[in-house]
Homo-oligomer: A and B are copies of this chain.
Amino acid sequence: MKMPFSSFLTFTLLSMQLSIVSGGKILVFPLDGSHWVNMKVIIERLHARGHEITVLRPSDSWYIKEESFLYTSLTLPCHGGFEENFDTYLSQQLEIRLQMKPESFWSKIWTQMQIRWVVLDQFTQFHKKVGDIITHMFENEDLMQSLHAAKYDMVLTDPGIGGGAMLARRLHLPLVFNARWTIHGEAHFLIAPSPLSYIPFTGTELTDKMSFPQRLKNVLSFFIGKLTLSYITDPSYKPIVRRFFGPDVDYSTFFLDADIWLMRNDFVFEFPRPTLPNVVYMGGFQCKPSTSLPADLVEFVQSSGDHGIVIMTLGTLVSNLPQDISEEIAAAFAQLPQKVIWRYIGPRPNNLGNNTLLVKWLPQNDLLGHPKTRVFITHGGTNGVQEAIYHGVPVVGLPLFFDQPDNLSRVKAKGAGVIVDIAMLNRHIFKEALMTVIYNSTYGDNMRTLSKLHRDQPMKPLDLAVFWIEYVIRHKGARHLQTHSYKMSWFVYSSVDVFTALLAAVLLVTFIWISVVRFLLRKIFTGGKIKH
């Protein structure tokens, strides 16, 4: 009588008449660096499903290879300078973060302001470079004509930069975002109602439960973000928009064109918040079951016995930490009964314990999926955190840049990890954090609950993403899912005119009423007097 849900779904899905157009043509305008890692996962699947993919890249692109069996690349004859600038960006930020006096409230505020300022400056430089690429592209009439002539079905892009959205409008093509951020902050802030009373603004490290001072901070952060936006966009994009789209076009409207927003998060990870019909959540789309470990690691992992292992990696961007911090980390590791695998590039710490294995690269997914893994020490990049959730491994977070503090504040709020401030880190604090997560079972339990919830979805996130990309190809867009609010001024959207009219009406009625009463009273009064 009862069949398992999967085969039940199989049956009903087989009976659905879904068909993809044969060989969709997809134009990709990617964001270089770690964002490309995400985009590539989607491109791989799209390629496997028979779509033709064309990727635009600058001649010096960093992660995006010119040659690939997955796509045809169109190399723009200009420099993005991603690779050469990124290292400088990060060391600047790290330097400030390490100077933070942990005990002082004002030092924290000061550090955060400094970081914000530096990031603002870095963003401005970065987007200027992106602006140059876009200008090169639009100026190249041969290229633009060939893009027109190629009759793509849609543009797939990361809205971290505006080029893809501009390109889509210029080519009159449907637009799909692989998104988590726009230049305005976390992507929802641009499109969905976002009450600041329970939706923490980007970069605040706040949660959905805020005290009064926290809500004050949230509101101020939001308005500072609003105010500084033009500082970034004006030099980078304003001239381009004016030149190629007209003087009255607002840069932000390019993002509102999107037919579908494929968001790299879900509500297991993110705090529940208002959303929109054209937003699709594909958080963890890159996650996959673990496979067996390489031979050299198997023995080391097995030797950990019941204590299990600890994994540490700060991602691909940070090659090494200051020596004194590495020494403290090594000292803390040496005191653990667990075995430790540490992705570490740099001079070997003097006090490295016998239980700690330094590696230049580690099979993160396979280690996270290994039953002996007890804790994952991470900088809190989106991919790493999503993989930790997928595999149900609790986290000790060492946030360094960008979205990392926000990502880890979500993990912490859900009781699935603790955060150590890198500026406060010493062997005692770090060991304490590790012991807490390893031996207080609530962290592991909470993370395993998140994992269960994350895996229990009607459809796998990557399949869902591909479904909606092909949906846009099939129906030549999905404009019917865009709210009409995008086409309204803030004035009309907020009903300011209606409320003003109502207020005026109330005042008018009150005025007339008072006048009439006064008139009548005077009549009676005067009449009385005369009668007297």
Residues of A within 8 A of B (CB): 1-10, 12-14, 16-20, 22-23, 48-50, 192-193, 195-198, 208-209, 212, 215-216, 219-220, 267-268, 271-278, 452-453, 455-456, 458-460, 463-464, 467, 470-471, 474-475, 480-485, 488, 492-495, 497-499, 501-502
**B residues near A485, Cβ cutoff 8 Å:** 195, 197-198
User: Are B483 and A208 neighbours in the complex by a CB distance under 8 Å?
Assistant: yes
Pick from B49, B209, B484: contact of A2, CB under 8 Å: B49
**B residues near A208, Cβ cutoff 8 Å:** 483-484
**B residues near A475, Cβ cutoff 8 Å:** 452-453, 456
- Using known A-B contacts A5-B470, A197-B494, determine if residue A501 contacts B276 with beta carbons closer than 8 Å: no
- Using known A-B contacts A17-B455, A463-B12, A464-B458, determine if residue A192 contacts B274 with beta carbons closer than 8 Å: yes
For the complex, give the distance between the alpha carbons of A219 and B495 in Å: 9
Pick from B192, B197, B276, B497: contact of A492, CB under 8 Å: B197
Q: Shortest distance in angstroms between A369's beta carbon and chain B's nearest beta carbon?
A: 14
**B residues near A501, Cβ cutoff 8 Å:** 212, 216
**B residues near A453, Cβ cutoff 8 Å:** 475, 480
User: Are A49 and B463 neighbours in the complex by a CB distance under 8 Å?
Assistant: no
User: Are A271 and B484 neighbours in the complex by a CB distance under 8 Å?
Assistant: yes
Pick from B275, B455, B458, B481: contact of A459, CB under 8 Å: B458
**B residues near A193, Cβ cutoff 8 Å:** 193, 195, 274
Q: Shortest distance in angstroms between A49's beta carbon and chain B's nearest beta carbon?
A: 6
User: Are A467 and B13 neighbours in the complex by a CB distance under 8 Å?
Assistant: no
User: Are A272 and B276 neighbours in the complex by a CB distance under 8 Å?
Assistant: yes
**B residues near A212, Cβ cutoff 8 Å:** 497-498, 501
Q: How many copies does the complex hold?
A: 2
User: Are B495 and A471 neighbours in the complex by a CB distance under 8 Å?
Assistant: no
**B residues near A278, Cβ cutoff 8 Å:** 272
User: Are B16 and A4 neighbours in the complex by a CB distance under 8 Å?
Assistant: no
For the complex, give the distance between the alpha carbons of A247 and B298 in Å: 63
**B residues near A48, Cβ cutoff 8 Å:** 1
For the complex, give the distance between the alpha carbons of A14 and B463 in Å: 13
Ranked 5 nearest A-B pairs via Cβ: A2-B50, A193-B193, A5-B18, A208-B484, A267-B277
Q: Which of A18, A216, A455, A492 has the most CB of B within 10 A?
A: A18
Q: Shortest distance in angstroms between A267's beta carbon and chain B's nearest beta carbon?
A: 4
- 15 more A-B residue pairs beyond the given contacts A8-B49, A197-B485, A458-B467, with a C-beta to C-beta distance below 8 A: A3-B49, A6-B17, A9-B9, A10-B13, A195-B485, A195-B494, A196-B498, A219-B502, A268-B480, A272-B276, A272-B483, A273-B277, A273-B483, A274-B275, A453-B480
Q: Shortest distance in angstroms between A429's beta carbon and chain B's nearest beta carbon?
A: 30
User: Are B16 and A460 neighbours in the complex by a CB distance under 8 Å?
Assistant: yes
- Using known A-B contacts A13-B10, A453-B480, determine if residue A215 contacts B274 with beta carbons closer than 8 Å: no
For the complex, give the distance between the alpha carbons of A215 and B23 in Å: 45
User: Are A215 and B267 neighbours in the complex by a CB distance under 8 Å?
Assistant: no
User: Are A276 and B275 neighbours in the complex by a CB distance under 8 Å?
Assistant: yes
For the complex, give the distance between the alpha carbons of A250 and B222 in Å: 33
For the complex, give the distance between the alpha carbons of A495 and B194 in Å: 12
User: Are A495 and B215 neighbours in the complex by a CB distance under 8 Å?
Assistant: yes
**B residues near A7, Cβ cutoff 8 Å:** 14
Q: Which residue of B lies closest to A464 (CB)?
A: B458
